[in-house]
Amino acid sequence: MAIAQRFEPLFRPRSVTFIGASKSPMKWGFIVLSNLINGGFKGKIYPVNPKESEILNLKVYPSVDEIPEVSDLAVIVTPPSSVPPLIEDCLRKGIRAAVVITAGFAEVGEEGRKLQRQMADVARSGDMILVGPNCNGIMSPNWSLYPMMPPVFPQPGPLAMVTQSGNVGNSVVSRGMARGFGFSYYVSSGNEAHLGVTDFIEFFGEDPQTKVILSYVEGIRDGRRFLEVARRVSRTKPIVMLKVGETAAGARAALSHTAALTGSDATFAAAARQAGIIRAGDMDELFNIAATFIRQPVLKGRRVGIVTVGGGWGVLAADACAKAGLDVVQLPEETMKELNSILPPWWSRGNPVDLVAGMRAGDIRNSLEALLRCPQVDGVIVLGAMGAAPKQEEGPTSFLSLMAMAGGNLFEDVPQLIDKYRKPILLASDTFFGGIEWGRDMSAALGDKGLVCYPLPNHAAVALSSLAQYGEYLRENGYQ
């Protein structure tokens, strides 16, 4: 069966059977059902609970058998021991996909492991696909499908995420939402009784709506197949991964969390590199790096130019670039001359190009373009140009107006400049000055263009370095 077709009942179900629906607002059986409803799912929802007749204005069925329709998807939140027989009910009914949110399986010991195996065996026996157990749900925003524990409703977009931790997954999705980015899919794979990280990376690889893949991984169960799939997918789509269990303490924690065996980090690191996987150091990096790939071209070399409104951010960026393996290149005579002709006499006369709070209209944009034109510069980081945000005319003080004037239409221009020069342009700036709502609006407006304003210069440096790494991988393997 083609991959897209296999995942159809999971991500594009016509109706959903919800097993374990509850009337108590403090139970997951109520909260997950609410989120499914509030997410705007267009199909029918059939709650199941033998003791209730109506929940949240939906008719409740005593069992799966008695539902008048065959749903494509079942969502299950009942206690562990009830799950394997319920999966049998679903299979008998003709349901082709299940998300088991319930925890208390392989991660808690031998009995749980047995239950988990039973559940997976049932599913496999009938060609059913199964997500979980011990997960916090899935999302398919293009289908308005959000059967999730927390109330998170990202818009549709180019990011797809598979995560072995639901709460890490949420944290990353929430970051995306705060920055105006949308998701094609989200899967909390939990204990991976049946489908796992590899299956979803493979599916995302073929999905036309997905441009970049995010993953949080504790342990890989099928190393060989995983690397084979990752190698294939990363030819066309970057796979960004937060892999934990680097330390003994982390490995122990992972074992008790999802029963994952993390394995040797050195071995994983080497294999991941060969498969083109880009590793992130924490949740911020995971989101930042992934978002960078949406709109930015890969770096052709490692030579970086930096434009900064203030010196300190420039120094921090220079240090961070060097630590990330990038070369804060000494600018050639010609570019220096050009900058001298553009900028006031007090500019830094070097790279970073520091405008020293000069703030004349056009200086930021013109310096940026001088660096983009320079053949010795492969990509540019622009620091502190937050005043170029939309709605700058509403800025509370003349300080913001000044910043806005200095920034000009920078945020409008950046996408065009990226396309014109085929070089990445990364923005990093504080957004505090305008208030948090203003920062949120600016982030959202940038997100609509596929751009991020990184909150720290080192975040931009790490993201730029990832563009270099992926570019090197593609070239070394003859994919580009």
Interactions with its own copies, residue window 194-223 (CB under 8 A)? 216, 218
Q: Of the two residues 128 and 371, which places its CB atom closer to its own copies in the complex?
A: 371
Q: Which of residues 323-352 bind its own copies (CB under 8 A)?
A: 323, 327-328, 345-346, 348-352
Q: Of the two residues 73 and 254, which places its CB atom closer to its own copies in the complex?
A: 254
Which of these segments, 2-10, 42-50, 231-239, 390-398, binds its own copies (CB under 8 A)? 390-398
Q: Which of residues 256-275 bind its own copies (CB under 8 A)?
A: 256-258
State yes or no: residue 107 binds its own copies (CB under 8 A): yes
- Minimum distance between the CB of residue 343 and its own copies, rounded to whole angstroms? 12
Q: Which of residues 294-313 bind its own copies (CB under 8 A)?
A: 309-313
Q: Which of residues 41-80 bind its own copies (CB under 8 A)?
A: none
- Minimum distance between the CB of residue 346 and its own copies, rounded to whole angstroms? 4
Q: Of the two residues 181 and 216, which places its CB atom closer to its own copies in the complex?
A: 216
Among 99, 456, 460, 463, binds its own copies (CB under 8 A): 456
Q: Which of residues 219-258 bind its own copies (CB under 8 A)?
A: 244-250, 252-254, 256-258
Q: What is the 3-state secondary structure (H, E, C) of the chain?
A: CCHHHHHHHHHCCCEEEEECCCCCCCCHHHHHHHHHHHCCCCCEEEEECCCCCEECCEECECCHHHCCCCCCEEEECCCHHHHHHHHHHHHHHCCCEEEECCCCCHHHCHHHHHHHHHHHHHHHHCCCEEECCCCCEEEEHHHCECCECCCCCCCCCCEEEEECCHHHHHHHHHHHHHCCCCEEEEEECCCCCCCCHHHHHHHHHHCCCCCEEEEEECCCCCHHHHHHHHHHHCCCCCEEEEECCCCHHHHHHHHHHHCCCCCCHHHHHHHHHHCCCEECCCHHHHHHHHHHHHHCCCCCCCEEEEEECCHHHHHHHHHHHHHCCCEECCCCHHHHHHHHHHCCCCCCCCCCEECCCCCCCCHHHHHHHHHHHCCCCCEEEEECCHHHCCCHHHCCCHHHHHHHHHHCCHHHHHHHHHHHHCCCEEEECCCHHHCHHHHHHHHHHHHHCCCCEECCHHHHHHHHHHHHHHHHHHHHCCCC
State yes or no: residue 405 binds its own copies (CB under 8 A): yes
Q: Of the two residues 28 and 143, which places its CB atom closer to its own copies in the complex?
A: 28
Q: Which of residues 423-452 bind its own copies (CB under 8 A)?
A: 430, 432-433, 436-437, 440
Among 3, 336, 342, 356, binds its own copies (CB under 8 A): 356
Bridge-based pairing state of the strands 58-59 and 54-55: antiparallel
State yes or no: residue 283 binds its own copies (CB under 8 A): yes
Among 91, 103, 123, 467, binds its own copies (CB under 8 A): 103
Among 121, 264, 322, 448, binds its own copies (CB under 8 A): 322
Which of these segments, 4-12, 39-47, 139-147, 279-287, binds its own copies (CB under 8 A)? 279-287
Q: Of the two residues 95 and 254, which places its CB atom closer to its own copies in the complex?
A: 254
Among 66, 121, 282, 419, binds its own copies (CB under 8 A): 282
In a 13 Å sphere around the CA of 472, the CA atoms on its Cβ side amount to 15
Which of these segments, 30-38, 221-229, 287-295, 471-479, binds its own copies (CB under 8 A)? 30-38
- End-to-end distance of the chain based on CA atoms, in angstroms? 30
Among 16, 31, 240, 468, binds its own copies (CB under 8 A): 31
Task: Confirm if 89 and 65 have CB atoms less than 8 A apart.
Answer: yes
CA distances from 396 to 383, 434, 443 (A): 22, 7, 18
Q: Of the two residues 163 and 296, which places its CB atom closer to its own copies in the complex?
A: 163
Q: Of the two residues 30 and 473, which places its CB atom closer to its own copies in the complex?
A: 30
Among 166, 424, 450, 471, binds its own copies (CB under 8 A): 166
Q: Of the two residues 173 and 294, which places its CB atom closer to its own copies in the complex?
A: 173
Q: Of the two residues 417 and 444, which places its CB atom closer to its own copies in the complex?
A: 444
- Minimum distance between the CB of residue 92 and its own copies, rounded to whole angstroms? 28
- Minimum distance between the CB of residue 65 and its own copies, rounded to whole angstroms? 29
Task: Confirm if 49 and 73 have CB atoms less than 8 A apart.
Answer: no
Of 162, 165, 144, 163, the closest CA to residue 154 belongs to 144
- Minimum distance between the CB of residue 273 and its own copies, rounded to whole angstroms? 19
Which of these segments, 193-201, 225-233, 315-323, 413-421, binds its own copies (CB under 8 A)? 315-323
CA distance 377 to 422: 11
